[in-house]
Amino acid sequence: MSTLYSTEALATGAGRDGHVEVAESDLAFDLAIPVAMGGSGKGANPEQLFAAGYSACFHSALQMVARQKKVSIEGSSVGARVSINPTDEGGFSLAVDLEVVIPELDHDTAQQLAEAAHQVCPYSNATRGNIPVNVSVSDD
């Protein structure tokens, strides 16, 4: 398998209360534990970054599938809600809810496109079988 793209990030400091920088970009910021987990919430956290990445990647996959099927999805959007949950073993797990909105498309066609995108999106392929990922289509 050949690599199309690769990037690196470096986390320093106190993990979730540290700092992260992404190679070959201007992306650098402080991290903070969310208030809901006992932190200050005055910075980004890994779940927010995962939600941002997954929503953007899934939207790109949705656009690719729509182009292949010659369907216009102008005005579309994808929202991602990433949750961190305690496990019975004392660790943590993630869960993702993806919400696809395609305003000018009927629900059934939008659902078919969302399901097709879920098969090609790299984030979906990486998480499949590892964490729950729910894909829904909203008519809003």
**Angle at alpha carbon of residue 16, lines to 34 and 9, rounded to 5°:** 125
> In this predicted structure, what is the pLDDT of residue 1?
82
Burial class (CB in 10 A: 0-12, 13-18, 19+), 92: exposed
3-state secondary structure of 86: strand
pLDDT band at 64 (very low <50, low <70, confident <90, very high): very high
Our CA dihedral for 120, 121, 122, 127, rounded to 10 degrees, sits at -100
Decide if 78 contacts 98 (C-beta within 8 A): yes
**pTM, full prediction:** 0.95
Decide if 28 contacts 10 (C-beta within 8 A): no
Q: At the topology level of CATH, where does 1-44 sit?
A: N-terminal domain of TfIIb (2.20.25)
**What CATH class has 46-138?**
alpha beta
> In this predicted structure, what is the pLDDT of residue 75?
97
Q: What is the pLDDT of residues 9-48, one digit of tens each?
A: 999 999 999 999 999 999 999 999 999 999 999 999 999 9
The structural domains of the chain, with segments of one domain joined by +, span 1-44, 46-138
What backbone phi and psi angles, to 5 degrees, belong to 24? 55, 35
